[in-house]
Each structure stands twice: as structure tokens, then as C-alpha cells.
Chain A
């Protein structure tokens, strides 16, 4: 906003040359027919031709209506305060908002009265602006944006003279060392972020499954046996390694849950597809079939797309579906992707039974579990 700005003069227009209260040019009065006031009485802040007064009758009605809205708002506001104290929290007695039903009532009452208070004020102000206040159509110039050539060249001359005089342009040694001095400081914030987390290393590629580890049914501490699936030839069970780490309510950290959760699926003999006879990874002697136990196969439950649990299982087709983005895997065909965006099959866990007949892992997954990442094959 420059000194040259002429808004303040022009917005008032010809008013500047006019003594307040005297008539303006007659040409400006043309649109004033609807006004309740004759031109000679106009005493507003803007030009008479730009100010369209509402008829006195409308203003009177407007005032009453606005006042009515404000009273409604006042009642709404009082209602809000009252309903706050109507529903105490749990410790303070009945009816308590800890009960979801009563909490819902409290919410409706608080919100409803707040709405009324806000709406009343808004409506009252709108009635005020539309019925009591004049309607304005004030003209005002847009600022001329580019500065004049003189101003620009004066500025540029001033700036360069000053820069020269300061020595910044003429003393390259000082200038360059100053710039050089800034560089390491610019890197500092990035370097300081280094300790936000460990380097990936092999963490993403390893899980807690080891040879002989039993499995819990997810959410319980009950060991799984092969018979648990036996009774239900099309069944599916979600399981976790049987860990009991101290310090976690589930006995297993969320990180370990996210990596090692598996789906156990029982597949009838005749449904297996040829893909099961392929090696579990390139150059391996083991096939996918070798890693099953009595028709039970174990796959990672975490989708290889972006990591949602692929938790939906269609029994009749043996398809595993991720509900997030609908990647679909065929459980009878080494969990290959049959539809959707996932990059690769679900990793498989080798399973067997121990001496006591409990299902156990016979090692770690054939591939890293979870979303596919750059170095997952390495």
C-alpha cells in the first residue's frame, strides 16, 4: 500500500470537493427514486447514488425481526449452559454421559442449543444487513499495480548503489566465504533428523518365527493343533507366534504382530494347483507343497500391496481378499495374485507339528512380509 494510493480519495468519489450535507450533481440522483430520503438529506459515509436506503417501514420490520432472532439466540445460549450441567460426567452422579445413550442425548442437547444460538445471531445479523442497513453499490478503483518507471528505476538505482557501497558486490572473497559458511548450516536440520529412527538393515526381512515355534490363535493364548482345522475342511484361522513378551498386554508387540500374523487355511487334497510344486524361492529345493502340513497352508496375513490385513477368505474358491484395495490371492496356488494391485504373492510360512501334536513353524517366511519395498529380494 503505497503513498500514491488513491483509494481513500476515490472511494468517496466526488465527495471530497463537496461540503457535507449539500446536494451533489443532479446526474447522480437518477437511481435514487426508491430511496426513502431525498438527496438533500443524505448524510451517509458513501455517495448518495451508491447508497440505496430501505424504506422506513422495512427498516422497522427488520429491526423487530432481527431482535427476535437475537432473543432466540440468547435462549439458545442459555440452553447450552443449562444442558452442560444437566448431564454430569461419570463420577458426579446420574444421568451420566458415560452411558453412550445418555451421552448421545447430551450431545444433541448441547449441539442443538449451540446451533440455535449461532444460527440466531447469524440470522439476526443478516436481517440487519438486508433490511435495516442501506444496500450499497460503491465503486472504487483497483490499484494500478506496476509502479511507474521512475519509481522502479529509482528503486533499482538505490538498491544497487547501496549494495555496491556495502562492498557485497565488490569484495568477492568476503561474499563467497559468507555463502560457503551458510552451506553446512543448511545441511544441519537434515542431519539432525538422522536419529528419528534406525536404519532398516535386515529388520524388515525377519520375523519372530523360528523353527519349532508354536502358534496362538490370534487374540488368545491357546496353542493351535492341526485338528483345529481338521474339523472344518474349508476353514481359516488367524494366528500369531506363541510369544509372551513382558510389557505387552497381548504378550507380543504391535510391530511383531504386524509382521508375523498368519492365515492358516485347510485345503482339500484335490483343490491344490500346480503352482504349489514350484520352489518357494528361486533356487530352493523346497516347494510350496513341502511347506504345508496335512493340507494346511500358512500365509502371511499382511497384504503385499500397502499392508492391510488380507482378512477376507472365500471358502468355496479358496481366495484370500484384502478389503482395502481388493488384492486377491489364490490360497491353493501359493497365494499368487489373481486380481487387484498387489505386486507379489503372500509370503508363505513353513509349518509342521511338534512331538506333542501342536502346530509349529519350521522356519521364517520365504520372503519379507508386508508391503513390497525396494530391497525385499536382497
Chain B
């Protein structure tokens, strides 16, 4: 232990060979010493990265046999139950992967499961970043890249899901085309160009294949690399704690510890994906049969990440549809346009804009490396929960037929319920979350002031019972004491100057809006000012 092992000769040789050409010794050491803060929630993004790698590997395997062709053939392969059935070559080659390629079914299921896990981990990772304020300066651009990755991942998933050309997947493409057709003015043109003619035509699988295996993965890869390089350069945020400041990061160094931990975690991610693929069937296209535009089955469900779109298509009523009375009349199909474009636009747009809106409200221009505890930004946290509720209600609405059947509720009634929930849910979620955050803030304040409740009951000489409060650990006290006060520069400027003249900025439209938003954002915050941390000296007299 006391003696450092000499680097093996071969390794030194390779090292010198590389360094002679790239001058990497100094950079290499610096990067291997890079520090990663320790917290489980920082592994969520890693899951996304690892499942992306799994997707690349399994996807390459699948391309060896998959034929992206819509040529209609009569199936004559190994799977007896579909022999003699007309189908596209795409579907037939997928059956081939299932029943003639060893490990083919496994790879297909790994690919599909990894896709579900990829998008799921992206979402949860993004929620972590949102709720801890890790999107704040200097990380706004990486946040935007993240949203681009999320959007592309959804599209990539939808296109990939469409490729086998089985019955449900073809219906997904049909719905996509139906949404395109509803676009005012250009709808039919866009649809004709994308499909090479009318639906379904003979080109769409080939084109989606190109997008799915070439263009979108290339974009995703580029964005993921950019995301990673920025992260590497700026370093992670960290949760508050002793020594952890906006200037200093504390954690595990890349080499040796983090490399081994992350490597192990990659294998865990792969193991979970492989385990699911081995024992939990996913997308059994041989049971669904090939796509025909005239058949359908009830209880169809898209992959989970498209569920919110499906749900909004189901519950948005047609009562707002109208026809522009020019010539023969032109329809504005709000029942398709709002769910298909406006709702995803709202969700992604709000996500993308939020860092800039929040910065505008608070006027906070400092670089923030210490993450917020969600309770310490109650308005942001409440808004986040409102967003999750909205998304979640739409997502559930996407399976209203299944819910209706499972719980024996009238189908149309579920639609009405979801319409109400989609509006009321976020409001209730906002209010409840904000109250919970403020309650937690007050408890933090109390813990800081009086110590934590030890659970020990004492009887005083007077006969009174009290619970003994004890001093929190130095770490807890530090975290509680360092709660950042919620402020906004907008509120620091006085409304009137000393001569009683109104501040022109505060009177005009945007300035006024900003002031009222700043008030809304900060008003409920529990102030910790002047709170003296508990030192264990007033147990007897102040215990309560």
C-alpha cells in the first residue's frame, strides 16, 4: 500500500506514444481528477446515456436483417400461423428476426425496452434538474439541449415503433398523418410529400427508417456529446452541505472511484434491460399481425411517452372546431390541432422558456452551482407539480378505454372526468404543493431554531411532560442555515423615489408585470433571518 506500483512497461509505451503526438499528460491528469458530486439523483442522466448506448448496439444488430420495404409479399416463413398472409416486407423481415435469427427476439425486446427506459430516464432526469434549479445560470444552454434531446427522443421512438408495420404501429402512423392533414393550408401537401402520395403509399417505412437509423440518431448523438462536454466543463451542480459552495465542488474523483462506479452502473442498466427483455414480453408483433388500413382492435395503447398526445386527442372536444366562411369554407380542426400541436408546444415551450422567465422575474444573474432544495423555491416547485399533473392526467386519459373497462366506468364519463381533471388537477396540484413546501420551510426553521424532535419524553419536576429537542448535526444545521432567501431585484427598486415620484420602470407594462410576478414568486417565502441555530442549551425551558 505504501509503495506505488510502477506503471507496466507496455502501458508506459502506449502512454508515451500518445503523449508524443497529442501532449495529453497534463489534460489527462486534470480530467481524471474531475470530481463528481455524490448523490443518487445524479445517476438518472447516466441511465439515459447508458440506455442510449444499448439502443445503438441493439439497433445496429437489428438493421442486419430488417428490410425497410413496403412491398407487399405473401408470407412464407417459419412462423406457421401467418403463412399465406399478405404483408409488407418490413413486417415479414421482423418476423424473420423473431423466428429465424437466434437472439433476434431478445435484441428486439432489448431495443424496445431500452427505448422506453431511455425516454423515462430523460424525463426523470429533467425533473431533477428542474426541481433543484440546476438549469440556472450558467447551465441554461445545456437545459435547452436537454429539451431538444427529449423532443427528438420522442420522435425517434415514434418512428422506430412504426417500422415493423404491424397493426398498432401502422395505426400510429395513420394518426400522425391525420394530425398533419389537419394543418391549415399546407396539411395535405405535407402529408403527400412525406408519404410520397396518399396514405399509406409505398415510401413511408423507407423514409421513417432513414430518419430513425440515420438522421435523428446522428442529431441525438451530437446533442448528447454537446450536453456531456458542457457538463464536463461546467461540472455538476451539488446539493448544499458543508464546504459545498458556488465556488467549490465536493465529490468522487473520476479516477479511480467514479469510473468504476459508473462502469458498474452501466452494467446494472444493461442487466435490468436484458432482464425485462428476457421475461416481460413487449410489442409481440407476431400476435398483432400486419397493418391494414381497414382493421383495428380495441384497447390500443401507444408507447408510454406518446400517451399524453393520445390522451389529449381523446379528451379534447370538437366544440371549438369552426369553418372559415370563405369560398367553400375551410375547416380549423381544433380537436386535432390543439392536442397535436398546441399542447406539446405548450409543454415543451414552457420547459424551454422557464429558466429565462425565472431569471427575468428574480433578476438573479449569478452563477449557481449549489442546487436548490425544492421546498426552498416553492413557486417553481408548485409550477413543476402543476405541469406534471397536467401531463399525467393527459397520459392517463390516453388509456381511458382501458380504465373504463377495468373499473367498469362509462366510457364517455371517463372523458368528462379527464376534461375536468386536466384543468382542475394542475391548479389543485399547484396549491397543495406550494402549501407543502411552505410547511416544510417552517419546519426547517423550527428545527434550526429549536433542534430536532428526539422522540424522548421528559417529565419536569412540575409534572409537565415535554419532548426533548436535540441539536442537529453540523451538516444539517449548515444546510438549514444556508437556505437562500427568495428575492427579486424588481422588488428592491422602490416604487416611488424620495420625492414621491413614481418609478417609471415600475409603472409601465413590462416593469409592472415583472414586479407583480416577482411579488407572486417570492411573497410566501419563509424568512430565516435572525434565526439563531439551536445549540442545545434551552431544552428545559423552551421545549414544546
Interface residues of A, Cβ cutoff 8 Å to B? 1, 5, 7-8, 11-12, 37, 41, 43, 45-46, 84, 87-90, 96-98, 100, 103, 106-108, 110-112, 114-116, 118-119, 121-126, 128-129, 133-143, 145, 193-194, 196-200, 203-204, 218, 238, 240, 248-250, 254-255, 257-259, 261, 301-302, 305-309, 311-312, 323-326, 337, 339-344, 370-378
Residues of B within 8 A of A342 (CB): 318, 335
Nearest Cβ in chain B — how far from A366, in angstroms? Answer: 14
Set A41, A306, A343, A373: member contacting B2, Cβ < 8 A: A41
A1 touches B233 (CB 8 A): yes
| Interface pair A249/B260, CB less than 8 Å apart | no
**Cβ B316 vs Cβ A341 within 8 A:** yes
Q: How many B residues touch the partner, as a band?
A: 35 or more
Asked whether, in the complex, the Cβ of B330 is within 8 Å of the Cβ of A118, the reply is no
| Cβ-closest chain B residue relative to A76 | B271
**Cβ < 8 Å to A, chain B residues 1-48:** 1-4, 26-27, 29-30, 33-35, 38
- B59 at the binding interface (Cβ < 8 Å): no
In the complex, whether B433 has a CB less than 8 A from a CB of chain A is: no
Residues of B close to A111: CB separation below 8 A: 106, 109-110, 274-275, 277-279
- State whether A133 touches B257 (Cβ < 8 A): yes
Whether A374 touches B187, Cβ cut-off 8 Å, given contacts A43-B2, A311-B295, is yes
Given A198-B197, A255-B200, A377-B331, check contact A371 B177 (CB 8 Å): yes
Q: Which residues of A contact B253 (CB under 8 A)?
A: 11, 45-46, 136, 138
Provided the pairs A138-B250, A258-B198, A374-B187 are in contact, do residues A125 and B331 lie with their beta carbons within 8 angstroms? no
| Chain A min CB distance to B336 (Å) | 6
10 pairs of A and B residues whose beta carbons are closest in the complex: A111-B278, A306-B178, A125-B264, A122-B267, A249-B86, A98-B78, A258-B293, A371-B178, A118-B271, A119-B271
Contact B267 A140 (CB under 8 A): no
Residue of chain A at shortest CB distance from B286: A100
Q: Residue of B at shortest CB range from A36? A: B1
A-contact 0/1 string along B330-345, CB 8 Å cutoff: 1101011001000000
Nearest CB of A to B42, in Å: 15
B371 smallest CB distance to A (angstroms)? 13
State A238–B295 Cα separation when bound (angstroms): 10
- Interface-forming stretch among B94-102, B444-452, B512-520? B94-102
Which B455-477 residues sit within 8 Å CB-CB of chain A?
Answer: none
- B379-401: which have CB < 8 Å to A? 400-401
Q: How far is the CA of A367 from the CA of B294 in the complex (A)?
A: 19
28 contacting pairs across A/B (C-beta < 8 A):
A43-B2, A87-B102, A89-B78, A89-B99, A103-B98, A107-B277, A114-B278, A115-B274, A122-B268, A123-B268, A126-B261, A128-B264, A129-B261, A133-B260, A141-B247, A142-B248, A200-B191, A306-B177, A306-B178, A306-B336, A308-B178, A311-B295, A323-B297, A341-B316, A343-B333, A374-B184, A374-B187, A375-B330
Contact call B275/A125, Cβ cutoff below 8 A: no
**In the complex, chain B residues whose CB is within 8 Å of the CB of A88:** 102
Known: A324-B296, A378-B328. A90 touches B278 (CB 8 A): no
CB contacts (< 8 Å) of A138 on chain B: these are 33, 35, 250-253
Chain A residues within 8 Å of B293, by CB? 254, 257-258, 261, 302, 309
Are A312 and B298 in touch, CB under 8 angstroms?
Answer: yes
Beyond A90-B99, A203-B197, list 11 extra A-B contacts (CB 8 Å). Answer: A8-B26, A41-B1, A100-B99, A108-B278, A119-B268, A124-B264, A129-B261, A142-B248, A193-B193, A258-B198, A323-B401
Chain B residues closer than 8 Å to A311, beta-carbon distance: 295-296
- Report how far A100 CA is from B79 CA in the complex, Å: 8
Tell me, yes or no, whether B128 is within 8 Å of chain A by CB: no
Using a CB-CB cutoff of 8 Å, which residues 263-298 of chain B contact chain A?
A: 263-268, 270-271, 274-275, 277-279, 286, 292-298
Name the residue on A nearest B270 (C-beta).
A118
- Contact string against A for B residues 61-85, beta-carbon threshold 8 Å, 1 for contact and 0 otherwise: 0000000000011100011100000
Nearest CB of B to A251, in Å = 10
Report the bound CA distance from A307 to B182 in whole Å: 11
By a CB distance below 8 angstroms, the chain A residues around B86 are: 248-250
Q: Does B299 contact A (CB under 8 A)?
A: yes
Query: Roughly how many angstroms separate A344 CA and B332 CA in the complex, as a whole number?
Result: 12
